[in-house]
Amino acid sequence: MLPYGRQSVTDDDVAAVVATLRSDWLTTGPQVDAFEADLAGWTGGAGCTAVANGTAALHVAYAAAGVGPGDEVVVPPMTFVATASSAVALGARIVFADVEEETFTLDPAAAAAATTARTKVVAAVDYAGHPADYDALRTALAGTDALLLADAAHSIGATYRGRPVGSLADLTTFSFFPTKNLTTAEGGAVASLDPELLTRARRFRNIGLVRERAELRAPDEGGWHQEVHEFGLNYRLPDVLCALGRSQLRRLGDFLAARARLVARYDEALADLPGVLTPARRSWAAPAWHLYPVRVLDGRRREVYDRMRAAGIGVQVNYLPVHWHPAFVDLGYRRGSCPVAESFYGQQLSLPLYPGLTDTDQDRVIDALGAALRGVTAPTAA
């Protein structure tokens, strides 16, 4: 089975991990600080705090924003469920706002309509690696107290109007899962240009511990003393995984270039294929292309999915609209509230995309897609 995504791990990555395993630090040590500094080189100087995974990054960011019971968080439904569920875990009520046609990122007009006096955070999602329209979202939120969060799990290394993802919102979250644009195995990060938000994020990921003497309520207790002023969780990313992340970051530019080349090949090969639409992009965006999401027309997505899977092509669907998950249905959310996202879900199919995908394998994907649309199952690879 040709997967839809795959990590790219080299001997240099292995050597970096082994060197850390042989050092004095396995958990929180020098590699954590160094990884966070390296990440800041890709975020326009926004400070970063590394965390255990992408879901933890969202939970940490919402906590840093002060999300709690009685607050509302606006979320687009075309995302992984964690963008919403991590805010629910803090007691927030989710308000779903529809996405734009073509990019399927949060629609600024829908976000404005969904925002109330109770809105604490509006979360944009850089779907497939294409940045949301952050300037338009800022304009839509003008006059409110809502913070803007960028769920950039797909888009590290992307730019919006020449500005890097990480510097566009009040808080930005990243994921470093193996299928993402770089990996730490499991891992994530929170970025912010606001020092206070970053401090709150760092404390929440470290159980809420306060060690700075000037902030201790019992500063003369002793050199060992630390306090918890607000509850947090242990969401630390260990040194050994940060070493892997640092090694991966050195190749992020190459990863992005490889993905862009493969996207261009798909675009050319599929441009005139009846029954599918290739992904769009705005002139102001340089996407990171975590996914290559085509739209299969005429209600044939399930048929094409099954035929391509039978041919050994690991296509995927990203994502079930969040408000369709039974956990949200049980809270009273209903289908039909976000028609653009829901229509897109009925057509969406992610083709394999990762830096190690060869031209031969990509041609196999293209041939299998054409065969599936003709109503036949392509032969599996020998």
Phi, psi of 183, deg, nearest 5: -130, 150
pLDDT (0 to 100) of residue 382: 60
- The rounded distance, in Å, linking the Cα atoms of 224 and 240 is 26
pLDDT at position 378 is 76
Residue pair 152/128 in contact by the 8 Å Cβ criterion: no
- Of the candidates 99, 3, 112, the residue with the CA atom closest to the CA atom of residue 365: 3
Q: What is the pLDDT of residue 376?
A: 82
Contacts of 145 (CB under 8 A, 6+ apart): 119, 120
CA-CA distance, 178 to 187, in Å (whole number)? 9
Burial per residue of 13-52, b for 16 or more beta-carbon CB atoms within 10 angstroms, e otherwise:
beebbeebeeeebeeebebbeebbebbbebbbebbbbbbb
Q: What is the pLDDT of residues 15-59, one digit of tens each?
A: 999 999 999 999 999 999 999 999 999 999 999 999 999 999 999
Q: Which domains does the chain have, with CATH numbers?
A: 11-246 (3.40.640.10), 252-374 (3.90.1150.10)
Q: By CB neighbour count within 10 A (0-12 exposed, 13-18 middle, 19+ buried), where does 243 fall?
A: buried
b (16+ CB within 10 A) / e for 77-103: bbbbbbbbbbbbebebebbbbbbbeeb
Q: Which of 120, 154, 180, 364 is catalytic?
A: 180
Residue 204 in tokens: 């929440």
Identify the three-state secondary structure at position 47.
strand
Q: Characterise 222 by phi-psi region: left (phi > 0), alpha (psi -120 to 50), beta (else).
A: left
Q: What is the pLDDT of residue 380?
A: 81
The DSSP output letter for 2 is B
Asked whether 44 and 163 are in contact (CB, 8 A), the reply is yes
User: Any idea of the CA torsion for 41, 108, 329, 60, to the nearest 10 degrees?
Assistant: 30
Question: What's the DSSP call for residue 217?
Answer: S
Give the CA angle between residues 128, 134, 135 to the nearest 5°.
150
C-alpha distances (whole Å) from 307 to each of 296, 322, 346, 371, 375 are: 13, 26, 17, 8, 8
Distance CA(113)–CA(143), nearest Å, equals 13
What distances in angstroms separate CA 194 from CA 13, 31, 49, 271, 298, one per listed residue?
Answer: 32, 23, 12, 43, 47
Backbone angles phi, psi at 94, to 5 degrees: -90, 135
Parts of the chain with a pLDDT under 70: 382
Which residue reads 């890709």 in tokens? 42
> Which pTM was predicted?
0.97
**120 annotated active-site:** no
CA atoms of 82 and 14, how far apart (whole Å) = 30
